[in-house]
């Protein structure tokens, strides 16, 4: 159990650093929508779908890579915070709806596609 927690912790730190680098890089060029979060979430969902589709039932890979790295890479809390920020004070419904749909539908479809591609 301790070994698993250490693997998750190390992987989570790596994933969070990757997320910060990618998000900060893309968000400096595109300011209308927080595309950095969109990119890391879609990328993470593709990778989660890929690994799940390959049916790798190796405990340390699941702990370190899926729960740790990819869990640290993808982020629901940042997405939620960005959506709250888009609602106030100058709410623009069209970008809000587009971003929300891209995040949720895009994440699901990318994970689904990768899973079935590698199954």
Residue 74 in marked binding region? yes
Give dist(CA 101, CA 96) in Å, integer.
9
Annotated ligand binding at 11? The verdict is no
Alpha-helix runs per DSSP H in the chain: 2-27, 35-53, 59-61, 71-73, 76-87, 93-118
The rounded distance, in Å, linking the Cα atoms of 114 and 52 is: 9
Point out the annotated binding site for Na(+). Answer: 71, 74
Point out the annotated binding site. Answer: 71, 74
């Amino acid at each position: 159990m301790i070994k698993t927690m250490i693997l998750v912790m190390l992987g989570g730190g790596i994933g969070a650093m990757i997320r910060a680098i990618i998000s900060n890089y893309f968000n400096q060029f595109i300011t209308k929508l927080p595309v950095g979060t969109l990119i890391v979430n879609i990328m993470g969902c593709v990778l989660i779908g890929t690994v799940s589709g390959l049916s790798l039932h190796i405990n340390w890979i699941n702990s370190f890579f899926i729960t740790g790295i990819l869990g640290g890479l993808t982020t629901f809390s940042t997405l939620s915070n960005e959506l709250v920020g888009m609602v106030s004070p100058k709410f623009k419904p069209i970008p809000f709806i587009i971003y929300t749909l891209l995040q949720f539908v895009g994440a699901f479809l990318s994970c689904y596609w990768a899973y079935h591609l590698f199954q």
